[in-house]
Amino acid sequence: MLKIAKFGGSSVANAAQFAKVKHIIESDEARRFVVVSASGKEHKKDNKVTDLLYLIEAHLKYSVDYLSLFDLIKERFISIKTDLGLQYPIEEDLAKLQSELSKSMSTDYLVSRGEYLTAKLMAEYLGFPFVDAKDIITFRYDGKIDFDATKYRLDNFLKSHDCFVIPGFYGALLDGTVKTMARGGSDITGSILARLLNADMYENWTDVSGILMADPRIVTHPKRIHTITYSELRELSYMGASVLHEEAIFPVKEKNIPINILNTNHPEEGGTIIVEEIKEKDSDQIITGIAGKKNFTVVAIYKNHMSDEVGIIRRALEVFENYRISIEHIPSGIDSFSIVVNSDDVKDVIYDIVGDIKRACNPDNVKVIDHIALIATVGRQMMYRPGISGRLFAVLGKHNINIRMIAQGSDEINIVVGVEDKDFEKTISAIYNSFVIE
């Protein structure tokens, strides 16, 4: 049995959290490869080390004094070292980094130091070898991971080591230049290692006990999702349920390696397991989860006998492409179709877009509808239960919620409704109470 264990920023925020990590690692000999994020917040008003490093980069750019920010970073790492009685000379690394700070230094290099320094301390504390991510995780020059080169470097390191601690979030180009991933990229590092090591499980340790069926800020004490498919998670993540970086799914999905989302502070509670496929079809739980986002704009295009006209939707989409606007949904009818986009993306160009659509498509009418929220009800069980859509719409009607848009994926695992922003929380609560509690 082999498990990759990735620990997020809150799991390595201070010495007490380091101790929890050590207990988790030592409780299961299958956990031999550990990925760490940069030290995160100890409490709500605290700062993440990575955020401080980005702030330092901004201060350097505008020639503003950054010493107070750097002192916060030094205090964090020296405090962890002192409290744990570690020997690693972290002060030397910090002094070296401070001496390198300049306007011309690489942003990627600077912000990667949070993970680097955290992993250095964690490696000594666990008694594991440290491996620098830049010596393993290899990027091609197009920004994508070079899996062949990464595997070659990983295999070479494993010839003399059977465990290690590695920083997440970054790697290097073929010439050795440090390159970071998107924020939250430590999740991706763990996923890459799980794939290349053919792990039996990828554990992602964070500060929540798995994925919840709805946002706890909207629904009081929502149930935990015990098992979810990659496809379901992708739908929920896209609509705002952000426990795991969505790009972390793809490396393990191809090899059907399960991901387990677990809580460093409460490992006994269990978590959520993410798998490729779940075989059971009969379950009392019809839906898996609900997620949504506010602030969308719907551009509705009407034209009589539109269904007889070839290419009209393509021409409308080309208008948005010309403005580099990504499309969320395209619900359609016989004589109309709508294009749903993020409001922030079009707020400065919406009138230009409407004008271009009129010229390209010669519609009878174009309507712009703002302040729309999209809410996805996701569940693999829905495809086996007739009447789910009708039940959902009836629930919203009962609560006097006006549905402005409906879209359903061809795989039948999600139903997306568009409602007014003001009805966002009310809609999520109504769906949850009907499908989960009743």
Model pLDDT, residue 50: 96
At 139, is the secondary structure helix, strand, or coil? strand
Kind and range of the H or E element at 372?
strand 365-378
CA distance 241 to 218: 13
Mean pLDDT of the chain: 93
**Res. 284 pLDDT band, cuts 50 70 90:** low
Half-sphere exposure of 346 (CA within 13 A, CB side): 27
- As a whole-number percent, the residues of the chain with pLDDT over 70 amount to 98
Phi-psi label, residue 387: left if phi above 0, alpha if psi -120 to 50, beta otherwise = left
**Angle at which helices 107-126 and 15-26 pack, to 10 degrees?**
60
Mean per-residue pLDDT for 30-37?
Answer: 98
Q: 5 - beta bridge partners?
A: 34, 203
At 169, is the secondary structure helix, strand, or coil? coil
Q: How many residues does the chain have?
A: 438
Give pairs for 365-368: CB < 8 Å, separation 24+: 365/301, 365/302, 365/303, 366/299, 366/300, 366/301, 366/302, 367/298, 367/299, 367/300, 367/302, 368/297, 368/298, 368/299, 368/300
**Res. 247 pLDDT band, cuts 50 70 90:** confident
122, 15 contact by CB (below 8 A): no
CA distance 29 to 42: 28
Mean per-residue pLDDT for 41-64?
Answer: 93
- Sheet of 405-408: strand order equals 336-342, 289-302, 365-378, 414-420, 405-408
At 371, is the secondary structure helix, strand, or coil? strand
Closest to 233 in 3D by CA, of 195, 273, 203, 280: 273
CB-based contacts of 182, cutoff 8 Å, min separation 6: 188, 245, 247
**Res. 285 pLDDT band, cuts 50 70 90:** confident
Of the ranges 52-56, 75-79, 376-380, which one carries the lowest mean pLDDT score? 376-380
CB-based contacts of 232, cutoff 8 Å, min separation 6: 288, 289, 378, 379, 380, 413
Closest to 197 in 3D by CA, of 252, 145, 248: 252
pLDDT of 282 > 60? The answer is no
Token pair in block for residue 393: 């719409």
CA distance 310 to 179: 45
First to last CA, the chain: 40
pLDDT higher at 167 or 278:
167
At 420, is the secondary structure helix, strand, or coil? strand
413, 379 contact by CB (below 8 A): yes
Instruction: Give the tens place of pLDDT for each residue, 288-345.
Output: 999 999 999 999 999 998 888 899 999 999 999 999 999 998 988 889 999 999 999 9
- Using alpha carbons, list the distances in angstroms from residue 369 to 239, 341, 343, 373, 408: 20, 11, 10, 11, 20
pTM for this one?
0.85
Instruction: Give the tens place of pLDDT for each residue, 391-416.
Output: 999 999 999 999 998 887 767 788 99
Closest to 186 in 3D by CA, of 168, 167, 202: 168
Closest to 135 in 3D by CA, of 121, 156, 120, 114: 156
**Angle at which helices 350-361 and 312-322 pack, to 10 degrees?**
150
Neighbours of 194 (CB within 10 A): 28
